Amino acid sequence: MDAIPLALEGYLAAEPEPGDREGSAAWRLNCSAGTDHLVEEAVIPCTTMEPEIAHALLTEHQPGDLLRVIGHLTLPDTADGVIRLHAETLEVLWQAPLLDADRDDTDTATATDAHTDRNSAIAALAEALTGFGQATPGPGQSIRIHISPTGALGSGLEHCHSFDVTPAMAHRLADYVDAMSCYLDSERPDGVDLAPETIADLTELFEDIDLIGLTNAVLNATRPEHRPAVTQAMDDMFGDVPAPEDTDP
């Protein structure tokens, strides 16, 4: 059967293994494709006869690395055969962080709870991103988002996801993130209008603040050696405030 030209992106599912011939290697690629309502996953066996690719896989890469593999896919002649992607080029899109081998995990229960919270957060984010927007991105018009746990992912690839969104969806997503963040002197997001009563209440609140009294109270409660730093911080927030020597002891 003729080989099919194919390019795949996915996470390295396990440690690569040397192939039957010198300069060859075999590995498994965990691929996922997001749609509006479903995330489909597949594990594709891969091989290569390119010595440079084999050497890099066996010496430089670890489970969890995000790879782009280009080659030819061969289909089995029988129903019980195995599909294989014979790689001709390989590109590393993202490297999984290395785990600290000397780290002493003494609190297994705490670590398990942390992993559970992290994985549930990833699942919630994946569900939100999968349903984000209605239109399916067209060829050449999409932006790919990858989310995954940190650390080596040999046993956590089910928590890795990839999503394609249109530029318009990406702008909307950026607007939502901006709307969640509040900083001093930042502008309100477009389309967010405060009621006149709320603006009046906020104005009255800030006008009633006695900055000198507030400054004196803070500095009087601050150790002398820390007063210069506190004074500078309050200057940055409110403008000029009285220096420590001008404050009652």
Q: What is the pLDDT of residues 95-107, one digit of tens each?
A: 877 655 444 554 5
What is the CATH class of 4-94? mainly beta
pLDDT digits (tens, 9 = 90+) for 131-142: 665 445 555 567
DSSP for 114-156, written as a single string? HHHHHHHHHHHHHHHHHTS-SSPPPTTS-EEEEE--SS--TT-
Residue whose pair of structure tokens reads 């000397």 in the numeric block: 102
| Between 248 and 94, the higher pLDDT residue | 94
Higher pLDDT, 248 or 144: 144
Report residue 146's pLDDT band, with 50, 70 and 90 as the boundaries. Answer: confident
Which residues lie closer than 8 Å to 126 by C-beta, 6 or more apart? 34, 39, 147, 161, 163
Give the mean model confidence (pLDDT) for residues 37-47.
72
Q: What pLDDT does 184 receive?
A: 44
Average pLDDT over the chain, rounded to an integer: 75
Q: What is the DSSP letter of 102?
A: T
Residue 45 CA: distances (Å) to CA of 23, 122, 158, 186:
17, 26, 17, 50
The answer on pLDDT for 36 being more than 60 is no
| pLDDT band for position 245 (cuts 50, 70, 90) | low
Query: Strand, coil or helix: what is 204?
Result: helix
**Mean pLDDT, range 28-52, rounded to an integer:** 75
Q: pLDDT above 90 covers what percent of the chain?
A: 16
- pLDDT, residue 34, reads 46
Listed ranges 6-10, 75-79, 191-195; the one with the highest mean pLDDT: 6-10
Identify the H or E element spanning 25.
strand 25-34
Residue 38 has pLDDT above 90, yes or no: no
Residue-level pLDDT at 48: 95
The domain spans of the chain are 4-94, 108-180, 196-246
Element (H, E) at 231: helix 227-238
Q: Mind listing the pLDDT tens digit for each residue in 179-231?
A: 666 544 455 555 556 677 777 777 777 777 777 777 778 778 888 888 888 77
Count CA within 13 A, CB hemisphere, residue 225.
0
Q: Which of 181, 171, 159 is nearest to 133 (CA)?
A: 171
- Judge whether residue 56 has pLDDT over 80: yes
Phi, psi of 141 (to 5 degrees): -125, 20
* Total residues found in the chain within this entry: 249
Rounded Cα distance between 146 and 32, Å, is: 10
d(CA 17, CA 65): 15
Q: CA dihedral defined by 190, 192, 196, 197, rounded to 10 degrees?
A: -150
